[in-house]
């Protein structure tokens, strides 16, 4: 089924908006603005957040802490029901969960902009679903778009849990995982709508296995990276200096660093083969993205770089993962057309 160029462009806009949510979320994490709004979906009880402390009641900390406690208790009851009672007890007994931050207008607006990005992406996806329903009605596309809408709703709800639990580390990891799944589904939807077979796609089995391996390692790397970041946050709270981080980070950091070099070696090989024989443009893009990601990773590990490097590191990794997924979708399209 052919779709209009206008609809395809709109779906690309949806994808860009989803990436914008990831970028905004990373910026929130980097700037420490995750608790900039203590409630959800409003921010300090308002659709347009305050800019001055005088706009808030004197007891705002106690009031929002009580609301967060109720949400934490409900979430822990859910964890109990699915057999995660130990995790629920850890959250309930963790004093850090109930710390309420002082009002900071800059952090409040950073978190609010993050929520606006999610709102725009969610509504764009809803509009795309309606467009499909009215004009195309292809079952596969409707199912994929509907699934992504549900996942976006879960992502928004889980974002409220991340705030309510005061950024419990594993909740941030799940939040990222859901975002990556949403990106993957949107990419597959776009690729399926385009329905084009790449003439430059390498057909050798070596390429197929290596591309799968690189994709799997990159996906795992992103979660190792979140663990490393969580460990760094814990070290900062304990008063460790940047010079002491690497010594204290332990095995996850060394695996993360080693796997980065492994991916680089594999992609250098593919890049060399591509220049010699294949001329498949996605390999070149993946290679340059990995180079940029490694540069930001080195800067994070060994230099006192500004926080924006953290955001750039995650953004490069996310776009690299998207390109690697497109490589696999290209190969799936080739097998389908044989």
What is the pLDDT at residue 304?
60
Residue 201 has pLDDT above 70, yes or no: yes
Mean pLDDT of the 145-160 span: 90
If asked whether residues 4 and 127 sit together in one domain, one would say yes
Per residue in 71-99, pLDDT (tens digit) is 888 889 999 988 888 888 888 888 878 77
- Retrieve residue 306's tokens: 């500004």
Tokens in use for 47? 């659709």
Give the residue-averaged pLDDT of 224-241.
73
Same domain for 206 and 191? Answer: no
Q: Alpha-carbon distance 9 to 298, whole Å?
A: 36
Does residue 113 register a pLDDT over 70? yes
The share of the chain scoring above pLDDT 90, in percent, equals 30
Report the candidate in 97, 108, 88, 139 with the shortest Cα–Cα distance to residue 45: 108
240 phi/psi in degrees, rounded to 5: -75, 140
- 232 and 181 in a single domain? The answer is no
Say if residue 211 is in the same domain as residue 240: yes
| Residue 80 tokens, joined | 């109990």
Rounded CA-CA distance 309/229 in Å is 13
- Whether residues 217 and 267 share a domain: the answer is yes
Distance CA 13, CA 128 (A): 10
User: What SS3 state is found at 23?
Assistant: helix
Look at residue 95 in the predicted model and tell me its pLDDT.
82
Contact 121, 20 (CB under 8 A): yes
| 10 vs 247, residue with greater confidence | 10
Confidence check: pLDDT of 12 > 90:
yes
User: And the tokens for 253?
Assistant: 């950091």
Beta-ladder partners of 46: 43
**Domain shared by 293 and 239, yes or no:** yes
Tokens 């332990």 map to which residue?
A: 250
Reported confidence tier of residue 121, pLDDT bands at 50, 70, 90: very high
Asked if residue 171 has pLDDT above 60, the reply is: yes
**Predicted confidence (pLDDT) at residue 214 exceeds the cutoff of 90:** yes
Whether the predicted pLDDT of 118 surpasses 60: yes
Is pLDDT of 300 > 80? no
Segment 145-158 mean pLDDT: 92
Lowest-confidence pick of 22-26, 100-104, 234-238: 234-238
Distances in whole angstroms, Cα of residue 191 to Cα of each of 23, 77, 104: 23, 40, 43
E strand or H helix at 94? none
- Do 176 and 237 have their domain in common? no
Task: Give me the CATH number covering residue 265.
Answer: 1.20.120
Are 66 and 144 in the same domain?
yes
Averaged confidence pLDDT in the chain: 85
C-beta neighbour count of 250 within 10 angstroms: 11
Final residue of a structural domain among 161, 195, 229: 195
Q: What is the pTM of this model?
A: 0.88
Cβ atoms 56, 42 nearer than 8 A? no
Q: Which residues, 6 or more positions from 150, have their beta carbon under 8 angstroms from its beta carbon? A: none
Q: Work out how many domains the chain is built from and give that number.
A: 2
Same domain, 315 and 338: yes
Please, is 169 exposed, middle or buried when counting C-beta atoms within 10 Å of its C-beta (0-12, 13-18, 19+)? middle
Residue with tokens 């969610």: 122
Give me the mean pLDDT over the 138-159 stretch. 91
pLDDT at 270 over 60: yes
How is residue 36 written in tokens? 């900039």
pLDDT digits 0-9 by tens, 20-67? 998 888 888 777 777 788 777 788 888 888 888 888 877 778 878 888
pLDDT band at 331 (very low <50, low <70, confident <90, very high): confident
Q: Which of 158, 180, 195 is the last residue of a domain?
A: 195
CA distance 61 to 63: 5
Q: What was the pLDDT predicted at 205?
A: 85
Q: Is the pLDDT of residue 264 over 80?
A: yes
- Reduced to 3 states (helix: H, G, I; strand: E, B; else coil), residue 43 is strand
Please check the confidence at residue 298 and state whether its pLDDT lies above 90.
no
Domain with 325 in it: 199-338
Give the model's pLDDT for residue 236: 66
Domain end: 145, 168, 195, which one?
195
Residues 1 and 54 in one domain: yes
Q: Is the pLDDT of residue 244 over 80?
A: no
Main-chain phi, psi angles of 43, to 5 degrees: -125, 110
* Shared domain check, 189 and 51: yes
Pair (127, 249) in one structural domain: no
How confident is residue 271, by pLDDT bands cut at 50, 70 and 90? very high
**Cβ neighbours of residue 175 under 8 Å, at least 6 residues apart?**
25, 155, 158, 159, 162
């Amino acid at each position: 089924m052919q779709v209009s160029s206008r609809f395809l462009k709109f779906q690309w806009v949806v994808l860009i908006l989803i990436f914008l949510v990831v970028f905004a979320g990373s910026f929130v994490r980097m700037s420490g603005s995750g608790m900039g709004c203590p409630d959800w979906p409003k921010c300090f009880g308002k659709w347009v957040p305050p800019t001055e402390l005088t706009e808030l009641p004197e007891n705002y900390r106690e009031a929002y802490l009580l609301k967060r406690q109720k949400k934490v208790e409900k979430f822990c009851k859910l964890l109990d029901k699915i057999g995660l009672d130990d995790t629920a007890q850890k959250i309930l007994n963790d004093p850090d969960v109930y710390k309420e931050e002082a009002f900071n207008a800059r952090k409040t607006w950073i978190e609010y902009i993050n929520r606006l990005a999610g709102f725009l992406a969610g509504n764009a996806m809803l509009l795309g679903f309606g467009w499909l329903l009215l004009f195309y009605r292809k079952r596969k596309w409707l199912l994929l778009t509907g699934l992504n809408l549900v996942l976006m709703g879960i992502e928004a709800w889980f974002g409220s849990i991340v705030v309510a639990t005061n950024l419990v580390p594993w909740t941030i990891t799940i939040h990222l995982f859901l975002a990556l799944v949403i990106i993957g589904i949107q990419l597959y939807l776009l690729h399926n709508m385009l329905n084009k077979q790449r003439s430059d796609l390498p057909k050798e089995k070596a390429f197929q296995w290596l591309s799968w391996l690189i994709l799997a390692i990159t996906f795992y790397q992103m979660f190792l990276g979140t663990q490393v970041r969580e460990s760094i946050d814990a070290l900062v709270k304990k008063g460790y200096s940047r010079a002491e981080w690497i010594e204290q980070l332990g095995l996850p950091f060394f695996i993360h660093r080693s796997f980065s070099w492994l991916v680089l070696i594999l992609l250098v090989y593919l890049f060399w083969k591509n220049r010699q024989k294949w001329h498949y443009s996605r390999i070149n893009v993946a290679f340059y993205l990995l180079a940029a990601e490694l540069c930001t990773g080195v800067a994070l590990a060994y230099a006192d770089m500004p926080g924006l490097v953290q955001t750039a590191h995650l953004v490069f990794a996310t776009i690299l993962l998207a390109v690697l997924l497109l490589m696999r979708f290209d190969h799936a399209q080739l097998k389908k057309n044989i």
